[in-house]
Structure 1
Amino acid sequence: MARKYFGTDGIRGLTNIAPMTAAMAMKVGMAAGAHFRRGDHRHRVVIGKDTRLSGYMLESAMVAGFTSVGMDVTLVGPMPTPAVAMLTHSMRADMGVMISASHNPFADNGIKLFGPDGYKLSDVDEMAIEALIADDVPLAPAAQIGRARRVEDARGRYINSAKATFPSELTLDGLRIVVDCANGAAYNVAPSALWELGADVVAIGVEPNGKNINDGCGSTAPQLLRETVVASGAQIGIALDGDADRLIVVDEAGRVVDGDQLMATIAMGWARRGLLKNGNLVATVMSNLGLERYLAEHGLGLVRTKVGDRYVLEAMRTRGCNVGGEQSGHIILSDYATTGDGLVAALQILAEIVRAGRPASEVLHRFDPLPQVLKNVRFAGGKPLDDARVQAVIADAEAELNGKGRLVIRPSGTEPVIRVMAEGDDPAQVEAVVDRICDAVRAAV
C-alpha cells in the first residue's frame, strides 16, 4: 500500500496547505503518540524544530496532539535534527519529533519522527501511524492528559556530544573556519562547538528571523560562504542546511566540495586507521561514478541504495558499515549518530585536515568526478516510466553507456517529477542521452 502522507523523509509541504496544517500536525501527534504508547510508564516525546515562523504553530499543535493521548512533551526549541535524534535516545524518550523542511524555503515545513532508539521510523511504523491518522484515536482520561515542559540545557548537551566525536589528541587552534548555519537550527550550537575546540570562527547565517532560513545561504546556496572564505583568509568553510543534517564544504580557494568528496575523505582516513567497518562506503545511486572508481582503486567498495538517507542508513545497519551518505551532503557516521549530522561530519573532515597538515584543497579533492547531467521532467499524472516508448529509449541509452557510464531514472518522492540522470566519460554523450530520455518522457505525458 502506498503511503499517503509520509515521503522519503517524513511529512513535508507548504505551510497552511494540506497536509502541512495545524490540524494535521495535531492528528500526527495523536496518531504517533497512540502508536508509541507501550507499557504502563509515563510516556515522553522530545520535540525540536528549526527556525521557521511556522514552527511555533506546528509545535503547539503537536503538543496538543501528544498530550491529548497521554504523552508528556519535552520541548528543546530550535535544534539540529541529529540533536533531536540524540536527545530522544539519551533522555529515554519513547519517540522524537523534528519540525523542519530541511533545505527547503521558509514557507515549507515538515515533520520527521524518530523511534526510542533515535533512528527514523521504518515504513511499517509510518504506515501504522497513517492508519491511525485516518481513524479516531482514543483520547486519554482527564487525569492522564500529558504535560509539556522546556529543557534549557539541550543545546549544551548536544554541543558536548558533538565535541566528543573530535579526536581528543587534536585541536583546531590556529584554524580560521567560516561556518554558514543557513539561518537555521544550528545557528547557535555549530559556532559554539567550533570555538570551544579552539577555532577562530567566522559565523554567517546566524541571524534567523523566521523567514530567512536557507535564503541565499547554507549548503544549497554556497556562494556567500565562498566569498566569505576568500575575503576572510579562512582555511575552510562549512555550510549546513536548515536543520543541520547536511554538510557542504568550501576549500581555502573558494571551491565547493560536495558530499561524495567528503565521504571519500572520511572513508579513506578511517580505513587507514582501521576504523572503517566492512571495507565499504554506503551511498545512493546518485553518487558519482568517480567515487566508486576511486574507492575501488584503494581496495574499498561502494554499496549503492535508493535515494534517501533512510535507505543509506538501512543498508549501513544491514551490512555492518559505519560510513555512508549522499552526494548532497547527508553524511551518516553511525559510530556517533543515528542520522545525518552536518556538524559531526564537519569535525571529522577538520580532523583529517589537521592530521594532514595540508590545505583543504589538497586534502579534500580526492577524485575527478565524471561529467554528470541531471534534468527533471514535470508531469500531471499517470506513470510515464511504464510507457513502452520510454522504456525502449531507456534500454537503448543503457546499452550505449554500458561500461562507459551510468543511468539513473526515478520519480521524485516529493513532487510530480521524473528525474533523469546520466554520467560518463564523454560529456557530449551524457547530455545527448539525457535529452533523448527527457523528450521521450514528455511525449508520453
Structure 2
Amino acid sequence: MSDLASSDTTVDPVAATVAQLDRLLPQLVTWRRDLHAHPETAHRETRTTAFLTDTLAAAAIPVRPLPVTGLIAELGATVPRRRVALRADLDALPVPERSGLPFSSTVEGVCHACGHDVHTTVLLGAALALKSVESTLVERGLAVRCIFQPAEEVVPGGAHDVLDAGGLDGVDRAYALHCDPSIDVGTVGLTVGPITAACDAVEVTLTGPGGHTSRPHLSADLTFALGKVLTDVPAVLSRRLDPRAGATLVWGQVDAGNAANVIPATGRAVGTLRMLDADEWHRIDGLVEQAVRDVVAPYQVAAKVDHIRGVPPVVNDADAVAALAAAARASVGPDAVVPTRQSLGGEDFSWMLQSTPGALARLGTRTPGGATYELHQGDLVVDEAAIGIGARLLALTALQDV
C-alpha cells in the first residue's frame, strides 16, 4: 500500500492522477468484487466501513467516522480557498441476487442491485489517486472531502447523517455519480437542472369492526374502502397538483384479510409518491392525508396516514455540470458526454444540494451491444470498465473545479 501514499512526482496533476488510477485498476476491480460478494443493508455497513477505514488509513488519508456507519476522508489543503466534496453511497438492497456472477452475494436475500459497490470503489480509487497529487492540491489551496455515505436506500436516508455531522460544512461544490445500466460504458449522462425526482413513502392503515361478507351493511367493508384508496387517492392527487409536476403515487404493498368470507378489521397499503417538481413537493404537506380521509369517509372506517417526506429532486448546477463534462471528456474522450432525461427515481444526495451547489452524473455501465438491465433487480450486471472511468471522472472533476 506504500505506493498509494506516495507524493506527486510530475508537474501535470491530471496525467499523474490518471496514471495512478491505471496502476490501481486491477486492485479496484478486486475490491469491488469483494464488496459485491459481501453486501450490507442500510446502517449495517460495518464491514464496508471497516474496509474503507483501513484502506484509507494505510494511504495516510485522515478519516472520521459518521455516527453509525460510513465515514468522511479529507485530502488537500487544511485551510483551503476552495473545498470540493465527492460522495458515494455504501448500502445494498434486500433483494436476492440472480446474476450468476462468480462473485455473487454471499448474503442471503441481499445484493448490490443498485450498483453502490461500484460507487464505493470509484470514490475509493479517486481518493487514493488524489492522494498521489496531494501536494498540488495544497499548492492550489484546494481541499477534497470524500463522503462515504450509508443508508441511501431508506427513508429518511443517510444523507442526514452526513449533514448532521457537518459533512457539507465549508464545501463549495458537491459531486456524485450513479450507475446507469441503460447507457453504454464509456459514456456519462449529464443534464442541467432536475435529474431525479422527489420521492416520499406513503403508508395507509384502515381499521374497522370487521364482519361477515354476507352482511357488509352491518359492518364496514374495509377491503372495498382499501380498494378505493388504491384507485381514488392517486386520481385525487392528479387533480389537486399541477400536472406538469409529474406526480405519481404507486402502491407496492397491499395487505387485507386472510379468508374469503370474512371482512377484515385492518388493511394496509404502502407505496411511493414521486414528482418532478420541487415547488409542488414542498407544498404537498397534508394533501395525501386529506385525500385518504375524504375517500374513505363514506365507508365508516378509520384511516391512519403516514406520509414520510423522503427526498427532494436532485437539481444539477450548471457550473458543476460543466466541470463534470470537462472531466468526462478529459478522462474518456470527446464523445463521452451524452444527454440524459430526468428520472422519477429518488436520490438522497438531493439533501446535500439543498444548501451546496453540485451535480449528479450518470455513469454508463452497459456493455456496448449487451443486455440492458434495470436497477433494483437481482440480475443487474455492471461492465467493470465503468470502475476506472468513474474513478477518473470523480478525481478529475475535483481537479477541474478550481
User: Does the alignment reach a TM-score above 0.5?
Assistant: no
TM-score per shorter chain, which class? under 0.3
Tell me the TM-score normalized by structure 1. Answer: 0.25
Larger radius of gyration: 2
1 or 2 for the larger relative contact order (CA 8 Å, sep ≥6)?
2
Tell me the TM-score normalized by structure 2. Answer: 0.27
